[in-house]
Structure 1
Amino acid sequence: MRLLLASLILLVFIPLNAQTTRKYSNEFMNIGVDAAALGQSNAVVARSNDVNAGYWNPAGLINLEDNQLALMHSSYFANIANYDYAGFAMPLDDNSAFGVSLIRFAVDDILDTTQLIDEQGNVNYDRISLFSTADYGLTVSYSRNLPIQGLSYGVNAKIIRRIIGDFASSWGVGLDAAIQFETDNNWKFGVMARDITTTYNSWSINEEEFAKVQNAVEGQNQELPETTEITIPKLQIGVAKLYRFHYDYTLEAEIDLNVRFEQNNDVISTSFASINPAFGFEFGYIDMIYLRGGMGNFQNELQIDNSEQLTFQPTFGVGFKYNGIQVDYAFTDIGDQSVALYSNVFSLKLDFSIFR
């Protein structure tokens, strides 16, 4: 499986025709963080109000009452790819807050078989080496209250680092902007605009190492890949409502619209933009035990008979919080409701108030 994945990575990396710019990049930054959010189909942009708001909606950081730390780990593709996240946030004063987070998505210990056969045509397994392909995203967040009660804004500055062994590496920068509004009767609204300036990745190609790939695929004579990628802007718009029952029980539900400015297989798609709805809920008991669920990633999938079938991605999660320590778990299919591989996601959140 690792050998197959290595081949796929190298083939994707080598286009048939060289271009100066690739339109899509940094999809690892769209996977999501925090098992609590993933258990609700990522429908949290209107009500994210903790350290993880630095990712979902930095305007929500203003709700922090103390410093917070968050950690998350998940595995994809039968544990071949690992996704790790760490975030820290703190209030600066009564009207502003700051956060920083780091994401790493990587496949490690990939077999490099480009030198498997020596100059005499002999297979020499000692010539096999290992390499990793890793994506890193560092985000610095700032949030501030606006003069209107319940309204806040937030911004993210992102630095992207992508590495494909010794073959190539890139640097990228980008900006996000967001707002969040909460009414007195527990309605919440949020808008998150990602990559508002388009995020640029500039690649540096190691031509000597890349030549080994070219020579390993006989008769192909591939040209060097693109040196620039851009990430087009995206919008996430959400509305949420909090309900309380008999003091001990709460239900918070949210509906989001995820907007991409392209045409694809989303349930609503035009030449200008595509819209994908998502729904998530969280049922809580005494602010300690949580049950979560959601549906998202609605797609019109083309079937073998040329008909279209609507598919979606279900999610499920649970959480437990006590004295400022919160442990969350999410069980989600990375694709749709089919028999594709499911992922187990765990996250930990620590509120520094427990030390006071």
Structure 2
Amino acid sequence: MKKSLVLLFIIITHQAYSQSVAKYSNEFMNIGVDAAAFGMGNAVVANINDVNSGYWNPAGLIGLEDKQMALMHSSYFANIALYDYAAFAMPIDDRSAWGISLIRFGVDDILNTTQLIDSQGNIDFNRISLFSTADYGITFSYARKLPVQGLNYGINAKVIRRIIGDFASSWGFGFDLGIQFKHKDWKFGLMARDITTTFNTWSIDEDLFSAVSDQIPTQDLPETTEITIPKLQFGVARSFTFSYDYTLTAEVDLNMRFAETNDIISTSFASITPAVGLQFAYTDLVFLRAGVGNFQNENNFGSESLTFQPNIGIGFKYKGIQVDYALTDIGDQSAAVYSNVFSLKIDWSLFR
């Protein structure tokens, strides 16, 4: 059991931090928020204009007409890992708005068996304890209209907190920049994440590690510093109205990472993968969504195959309350784990 915990701990730390020279740290901040966005394959950077803009593109906060609050919950790995999100945003005046959001991705009640065997070599199950590993992201957002008609910008300041029980913890800080431009029926959006790179500094409890030092080589421990490199997301969206009551919104996004990955377009400088999302709405009351993204070239024992992640979703809105649901990776077409995502959005106009 002792070795099992050590193995679990190495897996957790390695998956999160082995790229500590630092291209993929803080990946929990890239999962996404809002079931409506998930249903559209996360292709929303140009069209987003509500409280969830603080995550997808802070420039979209300009679209707020009143205070809004959002909540979301989903689970991964057969409910082992829980992903939760809460946000609040409001207009400041007719030219600016602000928001705040919180993300938590964690695994709770992990058995700590490092003390299972006492100094005399006896097994004592009373020495087993529980611990959690959790990642937190707090984002402060500000948006403002520019003098150019239809052009808005937004900026995020992020605080990252990552905890692995009493073993290790870190603090991180970073910034995002978002731009939206609307011209007639067309919308354009650009989201630059971690524009200054995001730094995480780790603190490791060496005393706790000494209890299992014979099982964990020094090189397997997390690095004390991580750097998250910038990422870009560019989107183009357009809405079509049919018979006054029916609306179709379509968006195409390009997601760029400055590293060589398995994305369908991959070079030593950058990698690009597309995402496409559709939303069909009836009188701003019922919404049907579909999207596809995360296109990857996977190499399996010498043979290469293209995988992708198709999502679907549905939503209902009534008097300022909107409930959305998304099922991600239907048909298990991607290496990503499928999940059921639920979210709630409340507009303060409901209380007036």
Name the TM-score class by shorter chain.
over 0.9
Choose which of 343, 349, 352 in structure 2 pairs with 1:353. 349
Question: What per-residue deviation string (whole Å, max 9, x for no partner) do you get for residues 209-237 of structure 1?
Answer: 1212324x28x566753100011100000
Tell me the equivalent position of 2:286.
289
> What's the secondary structure of 1:25's corresponding residue?
coil
Matches within 5 A, 1:97-112: 97-112=97-112
User: What are structure 1's unaligned runs of at least 5 residues?
Assistant: none
Contact 1:254 1:281 in 2 (8 A): yes
User: What are structure 2's unaligned runs of at least 5 residues?
Assistant: none
- Cα separation, partners in 2 of 1:11 and 1:248, compared to 1, 3 Å: closer
Tell me the equivalent position of 2:340.
344
Tell me the equivalent position of 1:174.
174
Matches within 5 A, 1:33-48: 33-48=33-48
Identity %: 69
Tell me the equivalent position of 1:151.
151
Question: What per-residue deviation string (whole Å, max 9, x for no partner) do you get for residues 249-288 of structure 1?
Answer: 0000100000000001000000100001000010001110
Query: How far has the Cα of 1:125 moved from its partner?
Result: 1.4
- Cα separation, partners in 2 of 1:64 and 1:339, compared to 1, 3 Å: closer
Matched, 1:265 2:259: no
Q: Match for 1:191: what amino acid? A: L
Tell me the equivalent position of 1:72.
72
Query: How far has the Cα of 1:127 moved from its partner?
Result: 1.2
> What's the secondary structure of 2:213's corresponding residue?
helix
Q: Match for 1:228: what amino acid? A: T
CA distance in 2, matches of 1:131, 1:271: 40
Contact 2:311 2:328 in 1 (8 A): yes
Question: What per-residue deviation string (whole Å, max 9, x for no partner) do you get for residues 311-347 of structure 1?
Answer: 1001010000000000000001299515975211000
Tell me the equivalent position of 2:246.
249
Contact 2:332 2:338 in 1 (8 A): no
Question: What per-residue deviation string (whole Å, max 9, x for no partner) do you get for residues 124-153 of structure 1?
Answer: 211111000010000000000011111100
Q: Could you tell which deviates more after superposition, 190-199 or 206-215? A: 206-215
Q: Match for 2:333: what amino acid? A: Q
Give TM-score scaled by structure 2 length. Answer: 0.94
Contact 2:327 2:341 in 1 (8 A): yes
Matched, 1:301 2:298: yes
- Cα separation, partners in 2 of 1:312 and 1:350, compared to 1, 3 Å: same
Tell me the equivalent position of 1:209.
208
CA distance in 2, matches of 1:147, 1:189: 17
CA distance in 2, matches of 1:196, 1:303: 34
> What's the secondary structure of 1:213's corresponding residue?
coil
CA distance in 2, matches of 1:104, 1:322: 28
Query: How far has the Cα of 1:107 moved from its partner?
Result: 0.3
Question: What per-residue deviation string (whole Å, max 9, x for no partner) do you get for residues 58-78 of structure 1?
Answer: 000001000000000000000
- Cα separation, partners in 2 of 1:46 and 1:309, compared to 1, 3 Å: same
Tell me the equivalent position of 1:91.
91
Tell me the equivalent position of 2:198.
199
CA distance in 2, matches of 1:341, 1:248: 36
Contact 1:78 1:341 in 2 (8 A): no
CA distance in 2, matches of 1:262, 1:21: 12
> What's the secondary structure of 1:196's corresponding residue?
coil
- Cα separation, partners in 2 of 1:19 and 1:174, compared to 1, 3 Å: closer
